[in-house]
Amino acid sequence: MAKNHLDSIKELYLPSPHDQLLLVPDGSQKTPGIGHVLYAIIDGHRKPVRFHSVKLPQNCTKWSPCEIEALAFATGIQAEMDLIKESHKPLIIAPDSTPVRDAVSLIKKGKFSASPRMNSFITNINKIPIEVIHASGKANLNNDGDMQSRHPSVCTTRPCSICNFVQDSIDSVLQHNTVLGAITAQSLYNTNAWATAQQQNVACKTALDHLKSGKQP
């Protein structure tokens, strides 16, 4: 049985700092899970460097697809930071989500995305030089990344820095003690309670002023 799989084994390439790195992230809402593949571009061909995936909590199925894609985008950068920092060339990232590409473009200019989760997740793009291109899923340009997100591995390592990063990112949007403020668990879906809490929050008021005036933070 093992011999039958020898021909399908994918060799992993150890990149040089002079190689062009390509990160292809993807997210699956139904699973839910995220994953990515890091490639090195050698003579116009993609050589796989690393495969990675993370199983998400079940409540993430309620997120929008672009928010899960944004989390995959951010996690890919975090997981491969050791190789990315050594590279002499800007990292190319190819998500198959147009909203994520547009959100990255806004955030790089110091502006806001309409999604608070996407704003929170993609903050680490300013740590490194990157270029973002769109990899169409319909054209099968991200098959390996798609496979990683639809069949994520379950991590049993404790503590795991990547799992902690994912969980902290998920928790960062709703923090019951700080962000919710006056909003109790019973009033989580009460729009009036949300409006009151936002009006009392300095960051929310500042963001609203920027959105109204078009001023960059």
So what CATH class is 3-173? alpha beta
Distances (CA, A) of 148 to 6, 31, 36, 61: 20, 11, 6, 17
Q: Can you list the residues of the chain whose pLDDT is less than 70?
A: 1-8, 137-140, 173-190
Q: What is the pLDDT of residue 185?
A: 46
Q: What is the pLDDT of residue 174?
A: 53
Tens-digit pLDDT profile for residues 110-163: 777 777 788 788 877 878 899 999 887 666 677 888 999 999 988 888 789 999
9 burial level (CB within 10 Å; 0-12, 13-18, 19+):
exposed
Q: What is the pLDDT of residue 177?
A: 45
Name the H helices within the chain.
65-79, 81-86, 98-108, 116-121, 143-150, 161-173, 191-199, 202-213
DSSP three-state, residue 55: strand
DSSP three-state, residue 28: strand
- Return the domain boundaries, the chain: 3-173, 174-217
Q: In what order do the strands lie in the sheet with 91-93?
A: 45-55, 33-42, 20-28, 91-93, 130-132
